[in-house]
Structure 1
Amino acid sequence: MHRPELVSIEGLQALERQIKDVRDRISGAEATRAGLEAEIAAMNAAGTRGEQAALANDAQLNRLLPRAANDDGIAQAFDTRLEQVLQRKQIELTRADQQLRALRGSEIELNRALDQQGEDLITLQQLTREAEATRVLYEYFLTRFNETSAQQGIQQADSRILSDAVMPLEAAEPRTYLILAMSGILGLMLGTGLVLLREMRNNGFRTAQDLEAFTGYSVLGQIPSMPSSTRRKVLQYLSDKPTSAAAEFIRNLRTSIMLSNVDKPPKVILSTSSVPGEGKTTNSLALAQKPVGLG
């Protein structure tokens, strides 16, 4: 959800500083682009390989230049390397053009935001003056109203009881049972919707069969979560409780790995994951050690 920026003089000054910074960056990008364009034009206009090597300022071209005049193969390698340098310069020029367009777009957006906030600030100041005038007028009428109410209270006669109020047998409002029933229905609908939404957003794998069906590879084993926060505690937990479910799963995984190729048992095992912190190091240490009852 977009939150509108507060209109203030400090905000306008900050926008002006941002515009100045973007304009400075545009000037730098234009200078960089002009330099790249001049380098490409000079290299294309160079008449000799020596001039081309000097303009390219490439170490490989400088190494090939002394032998290019006497060896056709070296000359071909020199021309190929020069073409690669030109292509790289052209890519840098294209990137500079993209950066320049992005900076100019940012400048346009900032100028538009500056103009809009300037108009909003003028409107805010006008509304502030109107609100202040209204407040003064309200306070005046409130004072007069209090004075009038005080005078009426003095002039009116004392109140008297005409009849006793009848005590109701049950509350008229709020209707508790209806509110509870509606709350239950709404809670059930909301809970069902949240469950369905979470189910629809879940795009992971629930079982090993799902993973095998999707990837086409066999799952060698599964390791459950262990009630330990550090690697040392995990290894101590496996050593202290060799009959636990986690230790049994690790033994099964180790056995599956060793029997995956009976003729040539694996000597090196790569442990990787999609994101950090998924237990690569912990699983590797658990497979490597041999506590009581493991391995």
Structure 2
Amino acid sequence: MNALPDPAAMEPVARMPVAARGDDVMDLGEMLLTLWRGKFWIVSAALLTTIAGLVWAIGVADPRFRATAVVVLDGGREPVVEFSDFLPMMTGDATVVNTELEVLRSVSLLADVVTQANLTADPEFNPALRPAGLSDLAINGALDLIGVPPAPPLATERIERRAMTATIASLRDALIVRNVPDSMVFEIALETGDAEKSATLANLLAERYLVRQLETKFEATQRATTWLSEKVAVLEVELETAEGATNQFAAQMELISAETLDILSQQLKEVRDRIAARQATIDRGDSTTRAQGRIDQLRVLEAELSEKIARQSQDLVALEQLEREAAASRQIYEYFLGRLKETSVQEGIQQADARLMSAAMVPEVPSAPRPTLVAILSAALGAFVATIALIVLEARTATFRTADALEMATGLPVMGQIPRIPARRRQNVLDYIRQKPNSAPVEAFRNLRTSLFMAGDAPVPRVIVSTSSLPGEGKTTQTLALAHNLTGVRDKVLVIEGDLRRRVFQDYFGAHDTPGMMQVLSRKAKLDEAVWRNPDLGFDVLFGDEAPANAADLFSSRQFRQLIRTARKSYDVILIDTPPVLLVPDARVIGRLADAVLYTVRWDKTREKQVLQGIRAFETVGVQVTGTVLSQINARGMKKYGYGQDYGNYGTSGYYQS
């Protein structure tokens, strides 16, 4: 097992469980850096969308012309004759303004314009007159293929009704009505594909709006006149009836009045006084026969006067009632007769509650599309889409470009940062390492050796496993370069090819038909007989050969453990190149026999999820990864991402590394 202590003793990086590592949140600084790196794409997208927008605005889109008529409401004008009880009057408050806005957009008003301008014959407003589009042709073709019979023809009346409805809807879409804030001014704008048509329709709509107001008032006046005429005729009959009844009653009765009743009442009082005087004479004992006879005559006269007063009072009350009814009828009749005359006069002098402030002029330039505005919006759209795409792509990439990010995600020290080796073929890798001892890649391997073997008081690892998440991350090149680098500080170094499935070592060294690991495990050859030696390299190589059994089972065998024990006795350092941990379990099995496990992560290629899964796979079998190596760093890419100053010139793209 690992002979090294906790790697935290080698690098001051906090360790954390793998399950808790990683952070998908992109901070503002990183986001701005991402946008700065992608400025070329943002500018290119903005430029392309600007060009596309201008091509559309200038060469493809149909120009639109907007003409505007201005109407002002005269809500405060007083009528010539006051008869607001019968006719609607404009008040000018917000409710009226909003109502008039809706009137200008009303179907009935637009229908008048459609009829007067014959817009149902205009393909711009009547969709039925336009050529069939590709979608319509495709639908009709699909219906013909599946055998759907065509719809029966519609009746002429229904076709006309549909055309009118569609034309009104198109006219409403082309209409723009706006109330100027804090005023009673309306702007009536029409936008069509023809400048003269726009002005004509805007003026026609304003004219129809004013005419509609007059028509509304005329209709109200006519309704009021008709109603008043009927009412006056009825009241005239009622007045004649009331006056006739009064005259007839007065002719049938005696000529009476309140003064006559007063005289009769005075006479009655005098008679009663005389009766009282005569009765007093009788009471004194005077001759009574003559006095009594006189009293009887006076009593007869009293009764006659009383009866006459009662009768005439009743007749007078009835006469006065008839006269009052006749007077009331006359008053009502005269009132409505006066209103009828006022209404008849007003019918000839009606005025609309609005007036045309300025007629629409024929526009000289299109209102849409405006190339400048289209260019600005297109550029903004392109830049926005590119920005979002860059941010989303960056967030979904989740690869490693710096050692800090790798340490933060894994909780393990980054023991080496290896640039790409400028060798396009495997055979040239070792030649480059030997011939360029002061190059940046070779210096990076020296730093890796220092981190691995000179970590303070930690025991020196002797069996080192090199692995990665997936193929092509540079672990094999790293193993061979580290072995070559160790030959200067260690006496004997052995490299074991632990990837028995690919077996690429022979491509590196050009050695074929050489003994391999199976010769040792099957005891057909000893270790020192099976290894391949080259004086120029300074280290020994044990090639992998085709295994008859499963490789993981082979590495778990007692024979392989014995091989490692024998190698420990003969060599100072044993480097084992293993297959990717996410593909096969070989690396985890071999790792149980190692003193250190180096996990290689390819720069800006290996995803964070893959790295964490690989490290977790080692932890599940009790093997602790010693540290990570950030490999195949591209100097040009580092500068592109804004990190080049931290790494120096590590070479250019297009170099081979396995």
**Larger relative contact order (Cα-Cα within 8 Å, sequence gap ≥ 6):** 2
TM-score relative to the length of structure 1:
0.38
Structure having the higher strand fraction is 2
Structure ID, larger Rg: 2
